[in-house]
Amino acid sequence: MAASDKSVDDSLYPIAVLIDELKNEDVQLRLNSIKKLSTIALALGEERTRSELIPFLTETIYDEDEVLLALADQLGNFTSLVGGPEFAMYLIPPLESLATVEETVVRDKAVESLRTVAAEHSAQDLEIHVVPTLQRLVSGDWFTSRTSACGLFSVCYPRVTQPVKAELRANFRKLCQDETPMVRRAAANKLGEFAKVVETEYLKSDLIPNFVQLAQDDQDSVRLLAVEACVSIAQLLPQDDVEHLVLPTLRQCSNDSSWRVRYMVAEKFVDLQKAVGPEITRVDLVSAFQYLLKDAEAEVRAAVATKVKDFCANLDKANQVQIILSSILPYVRDLVSDPNPHVKSALASVIMGLSPMLGAYQTVEQLLPLFLIQLKDECPEVRLNIISNLDCVNDVIGIQQLSQSLLPAIVELAEDSKWRVRLAIIEYMPALAGQLGQEFFDQKLRGLCMGWLNDHVYAIREAATLNMKKLVEQFGAPWAEQAIIPMILVMSRNKNYLHRMTCLFCLNVLAEVCGTDITTKLLLPTVLLLAADPVANVRFNVAKTLQKISPFLEASVIDAQVKPTLDKLNVDSDVDVKHFAAQAIAGIAAEMELNVFRTAVPPCMGAKIEAAMDSKLIVEAPATLTTGPTDVGILGGGDDGALINQDRESRIELESTTLKNGNL
């Protein structure tokens, strides 16, 4: 009997711990206990979770918002813990209570979980348990319950009987006419979602009147949400119905007295255009688009300016060029000289995209003058946006006609007082160099690129270093040898140690693209020269550079020049220099041993050994191989390195190959 009592006590322990922690004054403890609900439910079992845990949670929904948020999240995944979909109705009471709390994020999470749980109900259980919950929320005294109810209609409606559907439509109409703006706002927000599951006949008879009413609401926060519903409704209706039922409201919204509503129309304009089709766009939306392009509010003009390219791209192809030239470009010209810099910047980010639509002749005649004006704009973001999209124009008319105007704009951006502007133009320089050509670059832009290497902001110097690598990839190693490497090497003699370090950083990346000959002949001597630099930071960067460029050097060069320099740095008076020198010695030794092993192992040793070598697991080569006797020098930790002796009479088996992580 005592053993039986002890067993009962042990089984009650998890729920006792939960209750204890949920009542603890420490919010973090309560939060932790909520996050462990699934573990406790598993310990209790399905039946006790339904009969004890869920009622307890339902009764204690008065806590900090973060605890309630965690609870709402947990309950959404609780169906399997209460016994599966046939018992999912047990989760509705606590979630219903959470859906009525004051904190919005808690209510939203509770509604999300209610939707998940409702979807797991059978159609019969849905009508018995979920629909009454929805009706209680709709008729709740506080606006919080009514706003939560709006999110449940779309998940319930498709699976209930016709009489219940009629009730749901009536309840939604009631919420759309609610006296509280927050409820009407929630209804407007969910109108488009609900419209997608309602039959077309009821969409026109029941929901369209609600939509029209919400679009004329006295609160602009409600009207702007109706614009989003407009997109969903237009996608569901035939073209004739769109013209008669939706377009009048859309015209009204595009002329709304509130700039927020007009801003929302501008944001959703391309979606609306796709929903209504090309014919209605030509007849009605072009004029609405023009109206927004000359809106009194800069925020609206900026929003609609970003849609110019997409709107024009979705026009009917047969009339596209004509509509752009006659109806869009006159308004775009006004925006080019708009007093607000955000509007001009927004337009500059997309205007180049009109070139492929208009073709070469119209681009030269109509767009080129606008590009030239924007390249001279006082706002750096405008000039930057034009330069960053030059590829569109380059594909249509070439860049030569813009080159003379480009140069002053690029120079001004390169010298801008804001370092982020300078950084942005550096990132576009390789693409510009490719479009402008090597000759133009050498004459006009090479000096700018070299100047960035001496910038007082490290991020600019770093970006300029990577820029050099991309330029060499663009123009080739011979160009680098003649044009930029001599100028970079001069920096090694600069009095400012930061410039000498920048020189090393450049040599690091140039070695990757210049090849062995140039690295050995031009880059290595400068690196070795800087090994005697009086500044320790430069010396330990020499050690790091030698390690990075060693893969591009011959083994004989490493033995003759690199190793002695690293040995000297390895006994430097500065502890950091010694650290990086030792690190470089070990790294180069491992790399060379790997290379020797790659060369020495016969191909017949199979795919496994190749895979091991490719993953760089091997750090020491086998002492004996089946190939002829050869001595290969390996850079090691000692003074003279190490030798791998290969004996013809000895053979090595694959299984004895030594790996860093074990044996193959």
Give the alpha-carbon dihedral of 345, 347, 349, 352, to 10 degrees: -140
Give which of 514, 501, 525 is closest to 552, Cα–Cα.
514
Local confidence band at 22 (pLDDT 50, 70, 90 cut-offs): low
Range 106-120 average pLDDT: 88
Q: According to the model, what pLDDT value does residue 655 have?
A: 31
Say which residue, 476 or 12, is predicted with more confidence.
476
What is the 3-state secondary structure of 2-22? HHHHHHHHHHHHHHHHHHHHH
Half-sphere exposure of 243 (CA within 13 A, CB side): 11
Beta-bridge mates of residue 205: none
- Hey, what are 565's tokens? 């320099």
- Do 155 and 115 touch, CB atoms closer than 8 A? yes
Q: According to the model, what pLDDT value does residue 334 have?
A: 92
CA 502 – CA 483 distance, rounded (Å):
18
Domain ranges across the chain? 476-611
* b/e code 140-163 from CB counts within 10 Å (16+ = b): beebbbbbbbbbbbbbbbebbeee
Mean pLDDT of the chain: 80
Q: How is 45-114 classified by DSSP, letter by letter?
A: -HHHIIIIIHHHHHHT--S-HHHHHHHHHHHTT-GGGGTSGGGGGGGHHHHHHHTTSS-HHHHHHHHHHH
- Hey, what are 343's tokens? 């509007």
- The arrangement of secondary structure in 476-611, i.e. its CATH architecture, is Alpha Horseshoe (1.25)
Contacts of 575 (CB under 8 A, 6+ apart): none
CA 336 – CA 350 distance, rounded (Å):
12
Beta strands in 416-562 (DSSP E): none
Q: According to the model, what pLDDT value does residue 343 have?
A: 93
- Hey, what are 245's tokens? 């039922």
CA 380 – CA 341 distance, rounded (Å):
9
Contacts of 10 (CB under 8 A, 6+ apart): none
pLDDT tens-place string over residues 449-476 = 888 898 889 999 999 999 999 999 989 9
Local confidence band at 578 (pLDDT 50, 70, 90 cut-offs): very high
Beta-bridge mates of residue 662: 659
Least confident of 48-52, 57-61, 118-122, 483-487: 57-61
CA 289 – CA 312 distance, rounded (Å):
11
Half-sphere exposure of 5 (CA within 13 A, CB side): 2
pLDDT tens-place string over residues 303-354 = 999 999 999 998 888 888 999 999 999 999 999 999 999 999 999 999 988 9
Q: According to the model, what pLDDT value does residue 535 have?
A: 92
Q: How is 610-637 classified by DSSP, letter by letter?
A: HHHHHTT---S--S--SSPP-EEEE--S
Range 557-583 average pLDDT: 91
- Do 262 and 256 touch, CB atoms closer than 8 A? yes
pLDDT tens-place string over residues 360-403 = 888 888 888 888 888 888 888 888 888 888 777 777 777 666 66
Q: According to the model, what pLDDT value does residue 598 have?
A: 46
Q: According to the model, what pLDDT value does residue 104 have?
A: 86
- Hey, what are 610's tokens? 């190749």
Q: According to the model, what pLDDT value does residue 280 have?
A: 85
Q: How many CB atoms lie within 10 A of CB 77?
A: 14
Integer CA distances (angstroms), 527 to 54, 76, 245, 565, in order: 72, 63, 76, 10
- Above pLDDT 70, what percent of the chain? 84
**Residue 234 pLDDT > 90, yes or no?**
no
Q: What is the pTM of this model?
A: 0.68
Q: How many CB atoms lie within 10 A of CB 70?
A: 21
Q: According to the model, what pLDDT value does residue 293 have?
A: 92
Say which residue, 71 or 511, is predicted with more confidence.
511
Range 51-61 average pLDDT: 77
- Hey, what are 145's tokens? 């319950």
Cβ contacts of 512-518, under 8 Å, gap ≥ 24: 512/469, 512/552, 513/469, 513/472, 513/473, 513/477, 513/480, 514/472, 514/477, 514/480, 514/481, 514/485, 514/552, 515/477, 515/552, 516/552, 516/553, 516/554, 518/477, 518/480, 518/481, 518/485
Say which residue, 60 or 193, is predicted with more confidence.
193
Integer CA distances (angstroms), 357 to 10, 321, 322, in order: 76, 7, 11
